[in-house]
């Protein structure tokens, strides 16, 4: 973490996440310079690809929220009904 021009390093030697959980995404057909799909639903945008991956993925999601424009949520989120109906959210990279 960098704060005020100083670099803070953890005092432990461990990975911040389990690299075995990373998923490789094939971005063929997407223009990595086009983030937003806009109201035109540009099918070569990163946003369009992420939403399509969420909808076509192997996990079952009840709701995918696509909010793009002024006042948008920070990232795409997906929700599923968990145990006892409690929602579980996950962000997309």
User: Domains in the chain: how many in total?
Assistant: 1
Kindly report, residue by residue over 58-73, the tens digit of the pLDDT.
777 777 778 777 666 6
Is there a domain that residue 71 lies in? yes
Its domain, for residue 46, covers 27-91
Tell me the torsion sign for CA atoms 41, 45, 51, 54: positive
For the purposes of burial, counting CB atoms within 10 Å of the CB of 50, is it exposed (0-12), middle (13-18) or buried (19 or more)?
buried
Predicted confidence band at 91 (pLDDT cuts at 50, 70, 90)? Answer: low
Is there a domain that residue 14 lies in? no
User: What pLDDT does residue 88 have?
Assistant: 53
Is there a domain that residue 70 lies in? yes
- Average pLDDT of the chain is 77
Is there a domain that residue 7 lies in? no
Q: In the chain, what percentage of residues exceed pLDDT 70?
A: 71
Is there a domain that residue 54 lies in? yes
Is there a domain that residue 40 lies in? yes
């Amino acid at each position: 973490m960098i704060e005020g021009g100083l670099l803070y390093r953890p005092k432990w030697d461990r990975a911040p996440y389990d690299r075995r959980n990373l998923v490789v995404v094939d971005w063929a057909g997407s223009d990595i310079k086009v983030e937003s799909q806009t109201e035109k639903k540009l099918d070569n945008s990163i946003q369009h690809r992420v939403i399509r991956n969420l909808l076509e993925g192997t996990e079952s999601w009840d709701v995918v929220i696509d909010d793009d424009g002024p006042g948008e949520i920070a990232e795409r989120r997906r929700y599923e009904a968990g145990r006892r109906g409690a929602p579980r959210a996950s962000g997309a990279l």
